[in-house]
Every structure is written in structure tokens, then in C-alpha cells.
Amino acid sequence: MSCLPESVSGVAEWRLKCHRARRRIVLVVLNIIRFRRGLDHPERVRRIDSFAFWIPTAFGDDFTRFVEEQIRHWTISAEMRHCKASVGSEISEHLSSSHS
């Protein structure tokens, strides 16, 4: 009793056995070669968390302008955080004094 699909049922049994045996041999030989080379697992690519090293190359001649804009952005962000903190503290002082 064969568990082959109907499309393969017309092929001689000895051909199927030869194909399976050849396939097993090829797989065994490939695994032996991989183990001898130490390639049982391909080397994984190292994760890159930051592409900051690539920024000067990407901007080229505009890099200095980019740095100036980045510094300006950082200073504006710091000023906004300071303003939000001072406004928040004034509001909380106002609320605490109005409840007293």
C-alpha cells in the first residue's frame, strides 16, 4: 500500500526508491560539508541601533547646515521644556493658593 498521490502512481516503485535514496545521500553529504566548514548556522548580521555614523555621508556638503539646525532645534526644545515646567509650577501654585 502506497501513500503517494495519484499523479505519482504511474511511476515505477524502483524509480521512487532510487530518488529517495539519492535525495538522502545528497542531504547527508551537504550536511557533512557544512559541519566541516562550521556553517551549521549562517552568521547573523549584527544589529545596528544607530545610523549616526552615516549622517555626514548622507548630507555631504549640507552637513554643517544640518548641525547648525540641529543645535538650534535642541536649544528651542530645551527652552520649551523650561517654559512648560515654569508654567506648570505657576499653575500648581495658583491652584494650591486658591484652595487655601
Judge whether 47 and 35 are in contact, CB under 8 Å.
no
Q: pTM for this structure? A: 0.39
pLDDT at position 2: 53
Q: What is the pLDDT along the chain (100 residues), one digit of tens a residue?
A: 455 555 666 889 999 999 999 999 999 999 888 888 776 566 677 888 888 888 888 889 999 999 999 999 999 999 999 998 888 777 777 777 766 5
d(Cα 93, Cα 87) in Å, to the nearest integer?
Answer: 10
